[in-house]
Amino acid sequence: MKYVDVILPLPLHDTFTYAVPPEMEEGIKRGCRVVVPFGAKKIYTAIVIRVHDVRPDFDNIKPIKELLETTPVVTERQLQFWEWIAKYYICSMGDVYKAALPAGLKPKDKDAIREKNKRRRLSLNNGTLSDISILSPLSDAQNKAYGEIIDSFDSHPTTLLHGVTSSGKTEIYIHLIDKYIKEGKQVLYLLPEIALTTQITDRLERVFSDHMGVYHSKFTDAQRVAVYQKQLSDEPFQLILGVRSSIFLPFNNLGLIIVDEEHETSYKQQDPAPRYHARNAALVLANMYGAKTLLGTATPSFEVYHAARKGRYGYVQLTQRYKDIQLPEIQIVDMKEARSKRKMKGAFSFELIDAIQDALERKEQVILFQNRRGYSNFIECKNCGWVPRCEHCDVSLTYHKKTNQLTCHYCGYTYRLPDKCPACEEKNFASKGLGTEKVEDQIRDIFPEATTLRMDLDTTRSRTSYENIINDFAEHKADILIGTQMVTKGLDFDNVSIVGILDADHLLHQPDFRSYERTFHTLSQVAGRAGRKHRQGKVFLQTRNADSDIIQQIVNNDYWGMFFQQMTERKDFHYPPFYRLIDVYLRHRDNQLLGHLADDMADRLRQVFGARVLGPDCPPVSRIQSLYIRKIMIKIEHSASIEKVRDVLTTIQLQMLEQTVAHGLTIHYDVDPM
Ligand code: ADP
Ligand code: ZN
Ligand code: ZN
């Protein structure tokens, strides 16, 4: 009798063993999907990870219901990669399975499984491929960098391309992709954000046409299944352009991974598990294939820059914009002064208003950045100061004017606007703080003639909405683009001469050891959207911290200054890149009990890790979806074995969860949190 160990798409740490009916024995292999019963009624699509003949020591071993294919849908290399992710990020293989396969490949009920199978066979198309078109040539500076990258790969499989915004990094990538494809190798091009894929897809499609597949969450599931299946076929796409989840696609001959905007924190998956960092995981993936990795950015992350300085990664620099256009001039607007002298209209300083006016008259475009969506951050009773908060989370609600609703940005719950204050019956509310909706309203007030577009989570629910906003702005169907961090990342518009940063302080004051690094990245990137094609652009940076080092470093594009100053602090306080962080999160409905359990767990951890353990603390948002949260932070030397750390953590976790008082407690880890 044969048995299989399978993984289920569940956050359970174990594999499950089933019996293999004789008629399936021949075809079943590691990496194949099977349909299995689970519990009393449930049916799941599971992945076989081991076929063996060891009878498990429990009764009532259930047989597999169905074998979905005899050629594995998850390759050996993919499974090894999944295993690495599960181990490094301390999660279950089930968690990785859930993230790695498009939903259409892991249907839940049997009819859906049959249906999907039929459809998947239909959706595979294998036509003849067109030739790669001739490329737009590189400039001298770009050519030099290109040569240096190729040379660097000989000694350093991971190389950093540090090139100022609009220096033509994307053009260099295109030439590299072309070289690898012509050598018969596959290329994976990773982007941090869907908004960006729209523009880059257009640029790459002109060159690589049907050699390229695009993969991200705004595509329909059927489209994602089709790309996945094509990668398994004999004629896979040579180039995959995608966001972080595309590291889970099958490859057979991967030669190069490009991680564009490598500093972007959205490469890290926050929730749910696996909480992986796609850039770091990509390095492991590349290593498995013997492939090279190019990390590109204008503002390297400390981790990567540090590694390049230490000689672990290769380093190539581009210091000039394409056509030698000057980097934008950044003008600081002191908001303290502007407010006190009443030189503001709403969120806009007079300087910024004048600059927008001039740009509009010259028929140029403007980007305005405010990193909050909605209308106001919260509303407040004008009489007693009462602020509506979410019933399930420890946060105030954001007011959205368009829908006239209050929304919780943590759990998504929406509430009707109260017609009077429940505390004092006052009927008037003040809206506090500045969201992108309010910015748009104010702009329409000040510049009634100008046309505006807004890009934030609320206006980009679908793929076409992204494309429409970006295309419309590129075609100058609007004068002013207002947006959250979505407008800061790598977008390439020819005609933008003015960028306005409405509130830099909001970024600076995040309670996080990376807030300065991140502010530098974000503001330098958004500034980089100005003056890309024709002549130097101008950026207005509104802040109450005009004299602070970090604002000066941004204005002077002084990456070095910022890096060295921050690195000293990182070293002194045992933060990355000198130390590795692991955050332990505990959640429970009962706040008091959770407090005790968190103390207990921290004590147990201290017995092993000593002073490396900090906390427990209440995170800034300490209740989400009715669960209270505590966080314990562990700072580990890089020399420590991550396997041993993981073993200790999982052992202590088991001890914790075995206690009857701990019923209802959940524990999860965030390794290398961002
Ligand atoms: P980066 O990725 O460094 O921000 P891009 O590759 O987007 O820079 O280049 C900025 C702009 O300059 C783009 O519009 C791009 O098409 C143009 N450009 C850069 N290099 C070249 C080149 N060698 N030939 C033609 N256009 C170029
Ligand atoms: Zn009130
Ligand atoms: Zn909520």
Find the CATH number of the domain harbouring 356.
3.40.50.300
- Closest ligand 1 atom to Cα of 260: 2
**Quick one: tokens of 94?**
């089930």
Q: How far apart are the first and last CA of the chain?
A: 48
- Closest ligand 1 atom to Cα of 137: 23
**345 and 438 fall within a common domain:** yes
Give the distance (Å) from ligand 1 centre to CA of residue 190: 18
**Quick one: tokens of 23?**
């008629």
Complete DSSP assignment for 528-593: TTSS-SSS--EEEEEES-TTSHHHHHHHTT-HHHHHHHHHHHHHHTT-TTTEEEEEEEEEES-HHH
Give the distance (Å) from ligand 2 centre to CA of residue 13: 49
Please indicate, yes or no, if residue 386 is contained in any of the structural domains: no
Ligand with the closest atom to the CA of 386: 2
Please indicate, yes or no, if residue 161 is contained in any of the structural domains: yes
Residues forming beta bridges with residue 366, ordered by sequence position:
480, 498
Please indicate, yes or no, if residue 417 is contained in any of the structural domains: no
**164 and 53 fall within a common domain:** no
β 254-260/186-190 pair status: parallel
Distance CA 148, CA 257 (A): 17
**33 and 170 fall within a common domain:** no
Please indicate, yes or no, if residue 520 is contained in any of the structural domains: yes
**303 and 235 fall within a common domain:** yes
How many CA atoms does the CB half-sphere of 173 hold within 13 Å?
A: 31
**458 and 594 fall within a common domain:** no
Give residue 129's pLDDT: 61
- Closest ligand 1 atom to Cα of 170: 6
291 touches 176 (CB < 8 A) = no
Q: Rounded to 5 degrees, what are φ and ψ at 94?
A: -60, -40
Give the distance (Å) from ligand 3 centre to CA of residue 392: 5
Ligand with the closest atom to the CA of 207: 1
Distance CA 563, CA 300 (A): 10
Ligand with the closest atom to the CA of 408: 3
Please indicate, yes or no, if residue 130 is contained in any of the structural domains: no
Mark the ranges of the chain whose per-residue pLDDT is less than 50: 118-127
Ligand with the closest atom to the CA of 206: 1
Q: Any idea what the CATH number is for the domain that residue 96 is in? A: 3.40.1440.60
Give the three-state DSSP class for 187. Answer: strand
How many CA atoms does the CB half-sphere of 494 hold within 13 Å?
A: 7
**22 and 111 fall within a common domain:** yes
Q: Any idea what the CATH number is for the domain that residue 601 is in? A: 3.30.70.600
Alpha carbon separation from 416 to 401, 407, 468 (Å, rounded): 12, 9, 30
**93 and 188 fall within a common domain:** no
Ligand with the closest atom to the CA of 381: 2
For ligand 1, atom 5, the nearest C-alpha belongs to 168
Distance CA 318, CA 144 (A): 9
Please indicate, yes or no, if residue 586 is contained in any of the structural domains: yes
Give the distance (Å) from ligand 3 centre to CA of residue 263: 29
Residue among 161, 211, 160, 154 at smallest CA distance from 187: 211
Q: Give the H or E element holding residue 403.
A: none
Give residue 114's pLDDT: 55
Residues forming beta bridges with residue 452, ordered by sequence position:
480
For ligand 1, atom 10, the nearest C-alpha belongs to 166
Give the distance (Å) from ligand 2 centre to CA of residue 423: 5
Domain total for the chain? Answer: 4
Give the distance (Å) from ligand 1 centre to CA of residue 14: 49
344 touches 354 (CB < 8 A) = no
For ligand 1, atom 9, the nearest C-alpha belongs to 168
Alpha carbon separation from 452 to 473, 502, 528, 542 (Å, rounded): 9, 16, 20, 21
Give residue 423's pLDDT: 93
Give residue 125's pLDDT: 44
Please indicate, yes or no, if residue 414 is contained in any of the structural domains: no
Give the distance (Å) from ligand 2 centre to CA of residue 456: 31
**73 and 92 fall within a common domain:** yes
For ligand 1, atom 14, the nearest C-alpha belongs to 492
Ligand with the closest atom to the CA of 474: 1
Residues, the chain:
674
Give the distance (Å) from ligand 1 centre to CA of residue 502: 27
Please indicate, yes or no, if residue 413 is contained in any of the structural domains: no
**233 and 332 fall within a common domain:** no
Distance CA 69, CA 275 (A): 30
Residue among 577, 143, 596, 543 at smallest CA distance from 349: 543
Give the distance (Å) from ligand 1 centre to CA of residue 185: 25
Candidates 322, 488, 534: which one to mutate for ligand 1, based on the most atoms within 8 Å of Cβ? Answer: 322
Supply the range of the domain harboring residue 337. 325-376+433-567
Q: Which of 53, 88, 123 is the last residue of a domain?
A: 123
Residues forming beta bridges with residue 55, ordered by sequence position:
none
Candidates 149, 170, 191, 489: which one to mutate for ligand 1, based on the most atoms within 8 Å of Cβ? Answer: 170
CA 2, distance to chain mean position in Å, is 42
Candidates 143, 169, 171: which one to mutate for ligand 1, based on the most atoms within 8 Å of Cβ? Answer: 171
Name residues contacting ligand 1 (CB within 6 A): 136, 138-139, 142, 163, 165-171, 322, 492, 532
Q: Which of 542, 567, 592 is the last residue of a domain?
A: 567
**302 and 314 fall within a common domain:** yes
**150 and 26 fall within a common domain:** no
Q: Which of 567, 588, 605 is the last residue of a domain?
A: 567
Give the distance (Å) from ligand 2 centre to CA of residue 378: 14
**371 and 520 fall within a common domain:** yes
Distance CA 579, CA 614 (A): 14
